[in-house]
Amino acid sequence: MKDMYKDPAYYENRELSWLSFDERILGEARDKTTPLFERLKFLSITASNLDEFFMVRVASLLDMVNADYQGKDISGMTALEQLDAIHSRVHSMVRLQYSTWQRSLLPGLKQAGLTVIQDHRKLTREQAAFVDDYFMENVYPVLTPMAVDSSRPFPLIVNKTLNLGALLKKKNEKDAELEFATVQVPSVLPRIISIPNREQEMHSVILLEEIIARNMQKLFLSYDVLCVHPYRIMRNADLTIDEDEAGDLLKEIERQLRRRQWGEVIRLEVDKNVDKRLLKILKKEFAVKSDGIYPIDGPLDLTFLMKLYGLKGFGAYKEPKYTLQPVPGLSGRSDIFEAIREGDILLHHPYQSFDPVVDFVRQAARDKDVLAIKQTLYRVSGNSPIIAALAQAAENGKQVSVLVELKARFDEENNIAWAKMLERAGCHVIYGLVGLKTHSKITLVVRREEDGIRRYVHLGTGNYNDSTAKLYTDMGLLTCAEPIGEDATAVFNMLSGYSEPESWNKLSLAPLWLRDRFLFLIRRETMNAKNGEPAHIVAKMNSLCDQEIIAALYEASAAGVKIELIVRGICSLKVGIPGISENITVRSIVGTFLEHTRIYYFLNSGGEEEVYMASADWMPRNLDRRVEILFPVEKEELKREVMHVLDIQLKDTLKAQVKQPDGSYAKVKRRGQSALCAQQYFMEYAKRLNKKEEEPAHGRVFVPAEPM
Amino acid sequence: MAYKIFGTIDVGSYELNLKIYEISAERGVHVINHVRHRMELGSDTYETGNIGVRMEDELCGTLLDFKKILREFGADEYRACATSAIREAHNTPVLLDRIYVETGIRLEILSNAEQRFLGYKSIASNEERFRDYIAEGAAIVDVGGGSIQISLFDEGNLVTTQNIRMGTLRLKERLTEVEERTVRYASVIEELLDNELKTYRKLYLKDRDVNNILMMGSYLGNINQFIHEKQPGENKFAKKEFLRLYDYFMETGNQAIAQRLGIPAENGTLLTPAMVIYKRLLEETGAQNVIILHNDLGDGLAYDYAERKKIIIPHHNFENDIIESARRIAKRYRTDHAHTHTMEKMALTIFDKMKKAHGLKKRERLLLQIAVILHDCGSYINMSQSSECSYNIIMASEIIGISDREREMIANIVRFNSGDILSFEEVAAGSLLVQAEYVKIAKLTAILCVANALDRSHQQKIKDIRITFRDEHTMNIHVNSLEDLTLEQSLFREKTEFFEKVYSIRPVLKIKKAV
C-alpha cells in the first residue's frame, strides 16, 4: 500500500464525523415533512446519543489528555485538538437542539393540542393546587434533600441523573451565609405528569423537576430558598479494563460498575438562567472546565421526549404503526428445521419479524433430535425469550453453550444477571474472551437426523435482541449448508479456547483473518480495474474509519473502481479528492428505523458476483479487537434479494443524505427521479412478498390464450 | 441411512486432539468436528520423566471438556489413546487412574507399533492414490513430537518400519539450552539428528529406491499451502520446492516465516526442528517428491472402529502387512523359510480345526502365525540358547500393528516352544500380561509344538495334514507321505505332551504311505 493514500489530509476525524451523524438526526427532527411526534423522537435520540458520546468518546479523549498522550489520529489531530473541536461543535449543536424544541416543536405541540408547561409559575390556580397535592402525595416521600455546609461534605451526584440545585439562607438571620443544597429528581417517578386544563380543554403536562422546584421551600423549612435550578452531570464512564491483569473478569467488571459512579465529570448541563453564585459552586465542586459547561435553554435531558411520544392519542402526528411481516417460506410452518432443509432462508428485520430467530432457538430447545445449541450473545433484551429458550433447552438435557459478552457497553449489569441464570439452568457459559469482545452473531444447532448429523446455523448482522430487532434494520441467514456448519463448529471451538481450524470453508473471522479478507476483496477489484475490466464495490455499514481499508478504497478509486458506500454514522473517508476518491460516493440514511445492516458487494469481474454480510463495520475495533464474522450469501435467489436491498438504498431520495467534498451532507437532488424512501419501500415490499405467496396460481382475471 | 458417531481423543506429545466422526457405509468416515488444544505434555516427560501436576490438571480439565463436546454430537462411542508423552512417563499408572477418577475416561496407552499401524491404516484406506504412490517405491514418514517413524514400501508391500526417537518436541527439549547459546541452532539440530539417520540409512536404506515420501507431521499443511498458494487442493510438491522454502526459512528466521505460513506464534515453537527433520529426511532417502498426508491417529482409530463394526470393508489387507513385516524380521535373522512355511500351514490347519476346543478368534490366529514365523529367529544369535534369544529378539523388535502385550505373548509362545514352559507366576513378574493372556499363550504354544513336531527334520516331509476327531479326547492327524517319518514319529509323543495337558486331547499321528 502506497503511503500517498494515508495522508492525514484525506481523512476526517471520527468524532467530528460522528457529530455530523447526530446533526443529521437533528435534521430529521427539524424536518417539517416528518410527522410532529416522530420529530420528538429524533430530538430525543440526538440527546441520548450525545450522552453516550460524552461518556465514551469524550471521556476517552480526556483520558488521553490527562495521560499527556501526544499521538495523532488518522486526520492528524491530537486529543486536545479533538476535544476543543468537539466542544465548540457540540455547543452550537445543543443551541440548535433547544431552538428546535422551543421555536418549532413546542408551538407545534400546542397546535396539536398538547401543552407542555415548562415553568411552574405559569400554572393556573387550579393546576397549581393539583401539582402541590401531587407533590405531597407522590414526590415528597421519595426525595432526599441534601444541604452542604462545613459539617456535611458535598454529596455524590450520580452520573446522568437530573438534580435541582438551590441556594438557601437561614430564615430570620440577615447576615447568614448562603448555603448550597441539592436534591435528585427521582428517576423512579415519571418525568412527565399530566395535569388538568379545564380552561383550554387541552392535554397539558408538566415536568417533574418543575413540580419539585415549585415546592422546594417545603424541603428546607428553616431556610429561605433564593433560587432553584436544574443541573446534570456526565462522568467518565468508559470501561477500560486491563484484561490481561484481571484474573477474574466477572469480578473485575462488577467492581468497575461500582466505581463508575465516581468518574471524573466531563460535562455539566445547567439551566441557562442559573444564578451565578450557584454555578460557581457547581463548577468548583465538579472541577469541570469552562467548555464542559453547557447552559441549557429549556428542559435538561431531552430523552423525556421519548416518553412524550408515548402519550396516548395524537395518532395523526405519528407514523402509522407497522405490522411486522412474517417471513415467506416460514409462515404457517411448524417445523423450522424442515423449512431450512428445503433451502436457505434470508431474514430482513424489522420489515420481517424476528420471531423465526426466536423460534429457531425455541424449537431447538424442545426438539428431541437436537443434541446441542451454541450461541453468542452480545446484547439481549430485558426479558429475552431467547435466554428463556436456552435455559429451557438445558433443562431438557440439551448441551447448551453460550458465550455471553460481558463487555457490551452499559449492559454489563444486565448481562451478569442473566448469565448467572443460564448457568444455574445448566448451560455452559463462557464469559467472553480475554482482550477481545465477541461481537459476532451466530447460533449453531446440532441435530441428529436419520441420515446423519446436521448442523443448522443462524448468522446475523444484528444482536439477538427481540426488542431492538423492531427498531434496527438487520439481516440474517438461516442455513444448514455443511461447509457453514463445519465453520460454525470451528468458531465455537475457538471461542471455547481451542486452536483455530486448519482452514475455513466460507466464514472469515476477525480479528485473525477478516481484515486481510476485506483487503483482498477490495484489491481484487483494483486489479480488475487496472486490467480494464469493470470493477464495482457497494458497501453498507454503520461506520467507516479504518485507515488501511480507506487507503485501499482510495487506491481502488484511483484505479477506476466504482465505489458506492452507504454509511450511516462515522465516515472518515473523504469524497471528491482529485485523483484519490473521485469514484467514491458516500450516502447516509437516517430514518424511522436505525440502519444497522452490514452488506458488502464485490463485482468480481470474470467470476461470480460476491455478496457478504457481517457483524463488522470497517472500523479498527471491529477488525482488530473483536470477534466478528463475515459470511457469504451464495444462493443465487438470496444474493439477488440482498443486492436489491443495496440497490433500493442507493436509490433513496427522501431520507438519504450524500456526503459532499467539504464533509457536509446534503439531501439527494432528485433530478427527475421519483421520490423513494428506502425504509418505506421495504415495509411495502415485505408485505408484497407475503401476498405473492397467498395468491392462488390463477388470478381473478381470465387471460385469453394467445394463438400458437 | 445407518451411521455411527464415533469420537477419538488423541493425547499427543504437544497437542490434545478430539475428533468426532460420522461413519457410514454410504459416506465412509467423515470428520464432523476437530478440536485441538495445544499443550506440550512431552516437554515434561522428555525432560523430567514425569508429567507435572499443572500439566495433569490441564489434561484432566481438557479431557472433561472433550467429553462434553462428545455429548454435543451425540457420540455413540469413543476411544481415547495416548502416545509417547504418557507412555514414557514414570508416573503413568497413577496418572491414568487420576484421569479415570476425574473424567471417567479410560485412556489407553498405545505402543508405537500399534500407533503407527493405525496411522498407516487410515492412510491406506483414505488415500485413493496410495497404491500408485507405493508402487513407485515409497516411504511413509510420520514425524511426531516424540519420534519419527519411517515405513518403507516395495512393490506395494510394506517392507520395514522403524522408529527413530527424535521427534520435533524431543529435539527441542534436548537442545533447550543450546538454543539460547548458539546462532547455529539449526545445524546443531542437524548434527544430533544425523547420527541416528546415518545408522538408519546403513541398516535399511541401502539399495532401496525411494521415489516418493508420504509425509505426516506438523506445519506440513501450512508449508504445502504456501508452496501451492495458487493450486488449492494439490498435496504433492517436489524436493527442490521444499529446499527453496527451507533456504528462505533459514534467511528470514523462525518468526517471520511462521507469520508467512500463517502459523500462530504460540504454535510456532517446533517449526525449526520440524523443518530440519523434513529436510534431512528428504536428503537421506533421496526422494524426489513429497506427498502431504493429513491423516492422524484419530483417523486411524476411526477406521479401525469402522472396520471392527463392519461398516467399512477395507480394500487393502492389513493383516498381510503385519505378517509381511514379521517375515522381514524372520528374514533378517535368516530363519529357515521352507520349514516355517510348512509349519505355518500345519499350525493354522490345527488351529482352525480346534476352534471348539480353544475358543480363540481371528486375532489369536494371527498371533500364532507370527509366532510360527519368528519361532526360530534366536538361532541366528546362539543355537544352544535359541529359545531365550528368540524371546529377546521379539521383545526388542517392533512388529507393526501388534501391541506391546501381543508382542509379549508371541515372544512367550516362541520361548515355550523349545524351552521350558514357565508358570503364570514366573511369566507375570515384570510383565504386562494377565492370566487370561497366559492361557492363550499356553493354548497357542501347544499348537505350535505339534506343528513343529510334524516337521522335526526341517525337510518338509509332511506337506499336508488332515484332521479328524476319533472321540472327544483323541485327535487324528492324517498325513500322506512316502518319506521316512521315523524321526517325526518317535519324537511326536514327547513334543505333544503339552498339547494334551492343555486341551485334554491327545494328538495321534496317522501315516499313510501313499500319494
Residue A705 maps to a domain: no
Determine, for residues A489 and B32 on separate chains, whether the beta-carbon distance falls below 8 Å. yes
* A106: amino acid identity, one letter: L
Nearest to B9 by CA among B72, B59, B49: B59
Residue A358 and residue A387 in contact, taking contact as beta carbons nearer than 8 Å:
no
Neighbouring residues of B199: CB distance < 8 A, sequence distance ≥ 6: none
For residues A546 and A648, state if they share a domain. Answer: yes
- Cα gap B82→B339, rounded to integer Å: 40
Give tens-digit pLDDT for A181-225. Answer: 999 999 899 999 998 877 667 889 999 999 999 999 999 888 889
Here the CATH number for the domain that contains residue A34 is 1.20.58.310
Determine, for residues B5 and A500 on separate chains, whether the beta-carbon distance falls below 8 Å. no
CATH of span B128-294: 3.30.420.150
CB-CB neighbours of A500 under 10 Å: 18
For residues A276 and A348, state if they share a domain. Answer: no
Which of the four pLDDT bands, split at 50, 70 and 90, describes residue A260?
very low
Domains of chain B, by residue range, sit at: 4-111, 128-294, 318-512
- Which pLDDT value is given to residue A243? 36
Q: Where are the alpha helices (DSSP H) in A310-374?
A: 336-342, 355-366
For residues A45 and A22, state if they share a domain. Answer: yes
Active site residue A644: no
Strands A594-595 vs A656-659: parallel, antiparallel or unpaired? unpaired
Residue A486 maps to a domain: yes
Considering only CB atoms, which residues of chain A are within 8 Å of chain B? 371-372, 374, 399, 401, 428, 446, 448, 450-453, 486, 489-490, 493, 496-502
Q: Which residue has the cell 425469550?
A: A385
Residue A329 maps to a domain: no
For residue A684, the surrounding DSSP H or E stretch is helix A678-694
Mean pLDDT confidence for A637-662:
93
Nearest to A451 among B1, B15, B221 (CB): B1
- CB distance from B234 to chain A under 8 Å? no
Q: Which residue has the cell 416521600?
A: A141
- Which pLDDT value is given to residue A170? 86
Determine, for residues B73 and A486 on separate chains, whether the beta-carbon distance falls below 8 Å. no
Closest-CA residue of B relative to A452 is: B3
Q: Residue A403 belongs to what domain range?
A: 336-505
Residue A331 maps to a domain: no
Cα→Cα distances B274→A672, B172, B190, B201, B219, Å = 68, 10, 11, 20, 8
- Which pLDDT value is given to residue A247? 39
- Which pLDDT value is given to residue A249? 47
Mean pLDDT confidence for A132-161:
87
- CB distance from B265 to chain A under 8 Å? no
Please give the grid coordinates belonging to residue A367: 426438539
- Cα gap A297→A479, rounded to integer Å: 54
- CB distance from B68 to chain A under 8 Å? yes
Mean pLDDT confidence for A20-42:
93
Residue A162 and residue A188 in contact, taking contact as beta carbons nearer than 8 Å:
no
Those of residues 346-375 in B touching chain A at CB distance below 8 A are: none
For residues A596 and A624, state if they share a domain. Answer: yes
For residues A488 and A360, state if they share a domain. Answer: yes
- Cα gap A479→A698, rounded to integer Å: 32
Label each residue of B452-478 as H, E or C: HHHCCCCCCCCCCEEEEEEECCEEEEE
Nearest to A452 among B1, B15, B35 (CB): B1
For residues A238 and A351, state if they share a domain. Answer: no
Nearest to B391 by CA among B415, B421, B374, B423: B415
For residues A346 and A317, state if they share a domain. Answer: no
For residues A527 and A639, state if they share a domain. Answer: yes
Nearest to A428 among B15, B36, B68 (CB): B68
CA angle A568, A21, A646 (to 5 degrees): 15
Determine, for residues A428 and B33 on separate chains, whether the beta-carbon distance falls below 8 Å. no
Determine, for residues B35 and A493 on separate chains, whether the beta-carbon distance falls below 8 Å. yes
Residue A347 maps to a domain: yes
Q: Where are the alpha helices (DSSP H) in A536-635?
A: 547-559, 620-624
Q: Which of A236-245, A462-471, B206-215, B463-472 has the lowest mean pLDDT?
A: A236-245
Please give the grid coordinates belonging to residue A537: 464495490
Mean pLDDT confidence for A465-488:
92
For residues A451 and A518, state if they share a domain. Answer: no
B31, B34, B58, B234: best to mutate for the A interface, most A CBs within 10 A: B34
Neighbouring residues of A582: CB distance < 8 A, sequence distance ≥ 6: A557, A576
Residue A518 maps to a domain: yes
- Cα gap A500→A494, rounded to integer Å: 6
Determine, for residues A499 and B72 on separate chains, whether the beta-carbon distance falls below 8 Å. no
Mean pLDDT confidence for A400-404:
92
- CB distance from B36 to chain A under 8 Å? yes
Cα→Cα distances A429→A365, A390, A667, Å = 16, 11, 47
Q: Which residue has the cell 398538547?
A: A114
Here the CATH number for the domain that contains residue A443 is 3.30.870.10
Which of the four pLDDT bands, split at 50, 70 and 90, describes residue A408?
low
Determine, for residues A498 and B35 on separate chains, whether the beta-carbon distance falls below 8 Å. yes
Residue A440 and residue A490 in contact, taking contact as beta carbons nearer than 8 Å:
no
Chain A CB contacts of B1 under 8 Å are 450-452
Q: Which residue has the cell 473483536?
A: A626
Strands A452-460 vs B148-154: parallel, antiparallel or unpaired? unpaired
- Which pLDDT value is given to residue A517? 92
- CB distance from B431 to chain A under 8 Å? no
Consecutive 10-residue averages of pLDDT for chain B (515 residues): 90 91 88 91 82 90 94 93 86 90 92 82 71 77 85 76 84 78 79 83 75 83 78 79 84 74 74 85 85 84 88 78 86 86 89 89 92 89 86 88 88 87 82 87 91 82 85 87 80 84 88 73
Q: Residue A384 pLDDT > 90, yes or no?
A: no
Chain B CB contacts of A401 under 8 Å are 72
Question: Residue B137 CA to chain centroid, in angstroms?
Answer: 20
- Cα gap A267→A291, rounded to integer Å: 8
Mean pLDDT confidence for A317-339:
87
Those of residues 434-463 in B touching chain A at CB distance below 8 A are: none
Residue A327 maps to a domain: no
| Range B291-316 burial, b when 16+ CB lie within 10 A, else e | bbbbbbbbbbbbbbbbbeeebbeeee
**Regarding the domain delimited by B4-111, which CATH topology (the fold level of the hierarchy) does it fall under?**
Nucleotidyltransferase; domain 5 (3.30.420)
- Which pLDDT value is given to residue A508? 92
For residues A108 and A125, state if they share a domain. Answer: no
As for how many domains chain A has, the answer is 4
DSSP lists the bridge partners of residue A612 as: A600, A632
* B259: amino acid identity, one letter: Q
Domain B4-111 matches domain B128-294 at the CATH topology level? yes
For residues A423 and A517, state if they share a domain. Answer: no
Domain spanning B318-512: which superfamily? Hypothetical protein af1432 (1.10.3210.10)
For residues A537 and A678, state if they share a domain. Answer: yes
Question: Residue B56 CA to chain centroid, in angstroms?
Answer: 27
Residue where one domain finishes, among candidates A475, A490, A505 = A505
Chain A CB contacts of B218 under 8 Å are none
Residue A348 maps to a domain: yes
Chain A CB contacts of B38 under 8 Å are 499
Higher pLDDT, A649 or A706: A649
- Cα gap A449→A371, rounded to integer Å: 10
A398, A498, A500: best to mutate for the B interface, most B CBs within 10 A: A498
Residue A193 and residue A211 in contact, taking contact as beta carbons nearer than 8 Å:
yes
Work out whether the CA dihedral A539, A18, A378, A656 comes out positive or negative: negative
Give tens-digit pLDDT for A44-83. Answer: 999 999 998 888 788 878 777 777 777 888 999 998 999 9
Question: Residue B111 CA to chain centroid, in angstroms?
Answer: 7
Question: Residue A376 CA to chain centroid, in angstroms?
Answer: 19
CA-only gyration radius of chain B, Å? 25
Which of the four pLDDT bands, split at 50, 70 and 90, describes residue A261?
very low
Q: Which contacts (CB < 8 Å, 24+ apart) does range A413-417 have?
A: A413/A257, A414/A380, A414/A382, A415/A377, A415/A379, A415/A380, A416/A250, A416/A253, A416/A254
- Which pLDDT value is given to residue A256? 54
Catalytic, out of A120, A348, A439, A458: A439
